[in-house]
Amino acid sequence: MKPRPLVILSLEGLTPSALGCYGSSWNQTPAIDAIASTGCVWDRWLATDDQPTNMFLRMTEIPDQTSSWRDKWQATGSVELITDVEDVSKRFEQLPFDQMHTLHDREEENGPSDDIVDTQLGRLVAAAIERDAEENDWSVLWLHSDFLTRRWDAPRYLALLDEVDQEPLEPSEDVELLGTDEEVTERIENLPPYFDDLAPPSLQIPTEPHPDLVTSWMRTYGCQIRLLDVLIEILLTSLSVDDPRVVIVGTSGFQLGQNGWIGHRQGPLRSADIRLPLIVSDLGPLHLPQLRAGDTFPMILNEIATHCSTEGKGSFQWSPEQWCQSDENASVTTKSDRILRAVTTADWFYVQDSDDSEHLYLKPDDIDDFNNVARLRPDVVEQLVETQKNPVDLEIDGVT
């Protein structure tokens, strides 16, 4: 039977920590969460290359086989890409798309937009809606954007602010204030709850940072994610096709204070750079905790095309039974020009920085690489280094 049309949104700089379905406590994404509530969410989906364009190429790659994911989708319509990423548009001949629509910057904008339709992502979504209005059928509409790494132009009214604190009580007359009047009136300069910067931050957190610095940048990033959430809802309600399947995926992560950095591809490679979100609608509700490499994305597209019918029924490889399956022998190697080597297993994340320093973090418990145990587990470090030199299945005991 004819597969339901597929809408894919892939984004550079998309971190799971800002999505409600991944447990975010400081941001709200109701539209994305609604997709995840009936779909499959990969908890440990890792990039195999920290360059987002390289990762995008791997995710669209046509495997060396007779029947590819593109062939199956082309049977019911064209496979098309809409992108605002210049590096991707230059490589169209390497990509498995029938058509590509490219958006260009509007240089006159110097600050956040006043309306969501004027944003970089808003223009991308508008182009998708215009394409859908054409007579030619499409089976896959793939939207790819780098606005999270290049242009934070979301209207700041989308920012999720904390509740206004109550006015502090007046001090009792019986309490003697300590210090001089000058010391009492001396305050830490207040930071705005969010920043109006159009360019995303690229900064190392100072040794003694302002207590609200990271929070203000998180709110600003969260504002961009809320823009994404609103535009996803607008896109899905505006398309003329009946009940498309939806995939939301990141091609690179974003650091929001982890390991002392705020920005995209800043500092040494860490988990915040390579742990990416992946959500596929209508396959659950299910969270898959097993380690998976981003290179397997073409297999997912192939699986959806093979088993999804217009009635929304099918036999998928992702099921509640798979939740209990062990991935103790799985490993993912990540390529990066910022480090010497990086490998992730079911239990560990090992990275050797450019200065030869070695770091080992227990996974999945230590999500943000807080506790380096390389000195305590030299046996694990040795195994992971040897395995990367001569890849074999891993069997490493966890910390006892």
Given this model, what pLDDT does residue 243 score?
A: 85
Q: Is the alpha carbon torsion for 178, 184, 188, 192 positive or negative? A: positive
Residue 307: pLDDT band (50, 70, 90) is: low
Q: Do 198 and 153 meet the contact criterion of CB atoms below 8 Å apart?
A: yes
- Topology of the domain comprising 6-158+213-322: Alkaline Phosphatase, subunit A (3.40.720)
Average pLDDT in the chain = 87
Given this model, what pLDDT does residue 180 score?
A: 53
pLDDT exceeds 50 at position 393 = no
What mean pLDDT is predicted for residues 30-34? 97
Contacts for 321 with CB less than 8 Å, ≥ 6 apart? none
Alpha carbon distance 52, 87 (integer Å):
10
pLDDT exceeds 80 at position 108 = no
Q: Do 4 and 244 meet the contact criterion of CB atoms below 8 Å apart?
A: yes
Given this model, what pLDDT does residue 392 score?
A: 47
Given this model, what pLDDT does residue 382 score?
A: 94
Cβ atoms < 10 Å from Cβ of 243: 13
Q: Which amino acid is at 187?
A: R
Task: Report percent pLDDT > 70 for the chain.
Answer: 83
Alpha carbon distance 272, 176 (integer Å):
48
Model pTM above 0.75: yes
Alpha carbon distance 247, 360 (integer Å):
32
Strand 348-353 with 339-345, pairing: antiparallel
What mean pLDDT is predicted for residues 30-41? 95
Given this model, what pLDDT does residue 69 score?
A: 87
pLDDT exceeds 90 at position 241 = no
Q: Do 261 and 255 meet the contact criterion of CB atoms below 8 Å apart?
A: yes
Given this model, what pLDDT does residue 242 score?
A: 79
Given this model, what pLDDT does residue 20 score?
A: 97
For the chain, domain boundaries = 6-158+213-322, 331-389
Alpha carbon distance 91, 203 (integer Å):
30
pLDDT exceeds 60 at position 314 = no
pLDDT exceeds 90 at position 75 = no
Alpha carbon distance 308, 314 (integer Å):
5
SS (H, E, C) the chain: CCCCCEEEEEECCCCHHHCHHHCCCCCCCHHHHHHHHCCEEEEEEECCECCHHHHHHHHHCCCCCCCCHHHHHHCCCEEEEEECCHHHHCCHHHCCCCEEEECCCCCCCCCCCCCHHHCHHHHHHHHHHHHHCCCCCEEEEEEEECHHHHCCCCCHHHCCCCCCCCCCCCCCCCCCCCCCHHHHHCCCCCCCCCCCCCCCCCEECCCCCCCCHHHHHHHHHHHHHHHHHHHHHHHHHHCCCCCCEEEEEECCCCEECHHHEEECCCCCCCHHHHEECEEECCCCCEEEEEEEEHHHHHHHHHHHHHHCCCCCCCCCCCCHHHHCCCCCCCEEECECCCEEEEEEECCEEEEEECCCCEEEEECCCCCCCCCCCCCCCHHHHHHHHHHHHCCCCCCCCCCC
Given this model, what pLDDT does residue 329 score?
A: 80
- Which of the residue ranges 26-35, 196-205, 296-305, 320-329 would you say has the lowest mean pLDDT? 320-329
Burial (CB count within 10 angstroms: exposed 0-12, middle 13-18, buried 19+), residue 4: buried
